[in-house]
């Protein structure tokens, strides 16, 4: 049974479209959100709702949203997730030995491995004070404000110094039989020298419209190491809008890989701060976009300590009438001398109806730095296709192989084998399915 089973839904009524609908829902649910007896949390939700009310959903006039239009979200109404769904759920094969499962934003103990070093947030909110909202800003990020106001549950991972959390799969399933809107909140804290491999998977069941808008916060202490592999495999009608915050202390590493494979409209935003000397960040990713899909990978990386390396390789493959967006900003503070920053984004256009918009951005205030970025856009090299066909490889296979080779460079950056295997499986054969 769900730990948050006390939330009762008001039938199948959908909210009115736009920010007003979400605010009405907030008003209606306010008294019943988990943790409302905690004064700090109630105040935080209230302030976040106010911040969302003041900002509304971002429009394309906002520079950071220039290329992503939220009309599919703002022009539709959404409903409440049903209290609990019992019985067998069609779940994807587990990607890691230990898995915890959330369905429609709520923890499912019956489907989760009790051995996993994960607690559900709704029942442990007392332990989240000082962690929840320590990184996630609401004043200029309306989606984060909305999540902070409305979250019902999420994962809480709090590893002590030196603890090895192993490989954990965090699976979030949305049942797309109703147009639900869910706002999971996941909090991860690694003590000094702790280790964790987190495979975060957002998976949609069904083809209907829904919104999954998670927010994740990572506090990575000195010398701690977290690998964060993200598989976005939402359903065909899904809207996925996620925001990740990470702060990395001295000598720590935040190593992430984002895969956008599903959803009709997906945007993943990452805000990473390298806060201590020699902290490192990898923000790699791949977007596989087929007909009708919109994928947006946006990152803000702030070097605010000296001697930090950062690496970013993001690849986008576009087929059919799809649109891909990459926005990557690297900010180097004046104090961040000897920064070594590298950013590469590449796009492969497989259709004459696809569009790629790319905005790599450097903002540098320190002089002893080595920062570079590159961007390329092109189509598959027909000579390479011909070379393979002339050796008896069918055209579809040849193209698929070349696309996989293109993506390989980004996936190779993932050092953990389990995470890499999960990504490789999600990428394999994509072209055959699309073509």
Partner 1 sequence: MPAVTETIDAVQSVTHSTYKYGFETEIDMDFAPKGLNEDIVRFISAKKGEPAWLLEWRLKAFALWKTMAEPRWAAVKFPPIDYQDAYYYAAPKKKDGPKSLDEVDPELLRTYEKLGIPLKEQAILAGVEGAGESPAEGRMPVAVDAVFDSVSVATTFKDRLEKEGIIFCSISEAVRNHPELVRQYLGSVVPQGDNFYAALNSAVFTDGSFVYIPKGVRCPMELSTYFRINAKSTGQFERTLIIADTGAHVSYLEGCTAPMRDENQLHAAVVELVALDDATIKYSTVQNWYPGDENGKGGIYNFVTKRGACRGARSKISWTQVETGSAITWKYPSCILQGDDSVGEFYSVAITNNWQQADTGTKMFHIGRNTRSTIISKGISAGQGQNTYRGLVKISPKASNARNFTQCDSLLIGDKCGAHTVPYIENRCMTAKVEHEATTSRIAEDQLFYCRQRGLSEEDAVGLIVNGFCREVLKELPMEFAVEAQKLLQISLEGSVG
How many residues make contact with partner 1 (CB under 8 A)?
35
| Residues 44-73 within binding reach of partner 1 (CB under 8 A) | 63
DSSP SS3 for 294? strand
Residues facing 198 on adjacent strands: 168, 228
- CB nearer to partner 1: give 221 or 314: 314
CA 16, 266, 350 angle in degrees (round to 5)?
135
DSSP state of 351: S
- CB nearer to partner 1: give 6 or 367: 367
Q: Which stretch binds partner 1 (CB under 8 A): 33-41, 96-104, 178-186, 376-384?
A: 376-384
Confirm or reject binding of residue 373 to partner 1 (CB under 8 A).
yes
- CB nearer to partner 1: give 262 or 328: 328
Q: Which stretch binds partner 1 (CB under 8 A): 104-112, 263-271, 296-304, 377-385?
A: 377-385
Query: Cα 402 to the chain's mean position, in Å?
Result: 26
Which residues of 91-237 form beta strands (DSSP E)? Answer: 98-103, 106-108, 119-120, 155-159, 164-175, 181-182, 185-190, 195-205, 210-212, 215-220, 225-233
Confirm or reject binding of residue 375 to partner 1 (CB under 8 A).
yes
Please state at what angle helix 142-150 crosses helix 39-55, rounded to 10 degrees: 140
Confirm or reject binding of residue 377 to partner 1 (CB under 8 A).
yes
The DSSP element (H or E) to which 59 belongs, if any, is none
Minimum distance, C-beta of residue 336 to partner 1, in the bound complex (Å)? 10
Q: Which stretch binds partner 1 (CB under 8 A): 143-151, 160-168, 345-353, 395-403?
A: 345-353
Give the Cα separation of 315 and 91 in Å (integer): 28
Confirm or reject binding of residue 403 to partner 1 (CB under 8 A).
no
Minimum distance, C-beta of residue 195 to partner 1, in the bound complex (Å)? 33
Confirm or reject binding of residue 308 to partner 1 (CB under 8 A).
no
Among 11, 86, 90, 367, binds partner 1 (CB under 8 A): 367
Give the Cα separation of 138 and 42 in Å (integer): 15
Q: Please give the C-alpha separations between residue 156 and each of 111, 192, 381, in angstroms, as whole numbers.
A: 17, 17, 46
Per-residue contact string for residues 284-303; x = within reach of partner 1 by CB under 8 A: --------------------
Confirm or reject binding of residue 19 to partner 1 (CB under 8 A).
no
Confirm or reject binding of residue 361 to partner 1 (CB under 8 A).
yes
Give the Cα separation of 340 and 338 in Å (integer): 6
Q: Which of 28, 35, 64, 70 is nearest to 49 (CA)?
A: 28
Q: Which stretch binds partner 1 (CB under 8 A): 113-121, 190-198, 243-251, 375-383?
A: 375-383
Task: Give the 3-state secondary structure of 297-346.
Answer: EEEEEEECCCCCEEEEEEEEEECCCCEEEEEEEEEECCCCCCCEEEEEEE
Give the Cα separation of 125 and 307 in Å (integer): 36
The residues, any chain, with a CB within 8 Å of residue 262's CB and separated by 6 or more, are 202, 203, 204, 232, 233, 234, 235, 236, 238, 240
Confirm or reject binding of residue 376 to partner 1 (CB under 8 A).
yes
Q: Which stretch binds partner 1 (CB under 8 A): 21-29, 295-303, 350-358, 399-407?
A: 350-358
Give the Cα separation of 68 and 296 in Å (integer): 7
Q: Which stretch binds partner 1 (CB under 8 A): 78-86, 178-186, 236-244, 367-375?
A: 367-375
Minimum distance, C-beta of residue 120 to partner 1, in the bound complex (Å)? 42
Q: Which stretch binds partner 1 (CB under 8 A): 200-208, 211-219, 347-355, 404-412?
A: 347-355
Confirm or reject binding of residue 371 to partner 1 (CB under 8 A).
yes
Confirm or reject binding of residue 334 to partner 1 (CB under 8 A).
yes
Among 161, 365, 405, 432, binds partner 1 (CB under 8 A): 365
- CB nearer to partner 1: give 89 or 364: 364
Residues near partner 1 (CB under 8 A) are: 63, 334, 337, 347, 349-379
């Amino acid at each position: 049974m769900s730990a948050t089973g006390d939330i009762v839904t008001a039938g199948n009524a959908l909210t009115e479209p736009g920010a007003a609908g979400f605010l009405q829902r907030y008003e209606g649910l306010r008294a019943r959100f988990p943790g409302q007896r905690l004064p700090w949390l109630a105040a935080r939700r209230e302030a976040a709702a106010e911040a969302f009310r003041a900002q509304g959903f971002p429009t394309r006039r906002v520079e950071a949203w220039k290329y992503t239009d939220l009309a599919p979200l703002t022009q539709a109404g959404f409903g409440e997730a049903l209290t609990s769904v019992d019985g067998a759920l069609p779940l994807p094969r587990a990607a890691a030995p230990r898995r915890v499962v959330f369905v429609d934003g709520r923890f499912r103990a019956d489907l989760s491995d009790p051995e996993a070093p994960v607690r559900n947030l709704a029942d442990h909110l007392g332990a989240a004070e000082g962690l929840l909202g320590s990184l996630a800003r609401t004043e200029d990020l309306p989606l984060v404000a909305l999540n902070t106001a409305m979250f019902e549950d999420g994962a809480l991972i709090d590893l002590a110094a030196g603890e090895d959390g192993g490989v954990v799969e965090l699976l979030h399933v949305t049942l797309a039989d109703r147009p639900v809107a869910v706002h999971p909140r996941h909090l991860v804290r690694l003590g000094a020298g702790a280790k964790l491999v987190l495979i975060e998977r957002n998976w949609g069941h069904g083809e209907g419209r829904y919104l999954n808008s998670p927010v994740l916060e990572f506090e990575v202490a000195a010398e701690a190491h977290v690998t964060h592999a993200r598989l976005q495999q939402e359903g065909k009608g899904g809207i996925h809008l996620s925001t990740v915050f990470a702060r990395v202390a001295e000598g720590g590493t935040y190593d992430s890989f984002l895969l956008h494979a599903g959803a009709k409209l997906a945007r993943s935003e990452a805000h990473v701060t390298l806060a201590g000397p020699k902290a490192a960040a990898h923000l790699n990713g791949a977007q596989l976009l087929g007909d009708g899909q919109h994928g947006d990978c946006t990152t803000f990386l702030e070097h605010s300590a000296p001697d930090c390396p950062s690496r970013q390789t993001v690849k986008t493959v576009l087929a059919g009438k799809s649109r891909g967006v990459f926005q990557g900003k690297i900010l180097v503070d004046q104090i961040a001398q000897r920064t070594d920053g590298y950013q590469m984004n590449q796009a492969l256009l497989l259709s004459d109806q696809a569009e790629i918009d790319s905005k790599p951005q450097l903002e540098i205030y320190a002089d002893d730095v080595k920062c570079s970025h590159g961007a390329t856009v092109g189509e598959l090299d027909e000579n390479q296709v011909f070379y393979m066909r002339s050796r008896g490889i069918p055209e579809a296979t040849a193209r698929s192989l070349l696309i996989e080779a293109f993506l390989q460079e980004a996936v190779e950056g993932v050092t953990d084998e389990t995470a890499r295997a999960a990504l490789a499986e999600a990428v394999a054969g994509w072209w055959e399915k699309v073509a």
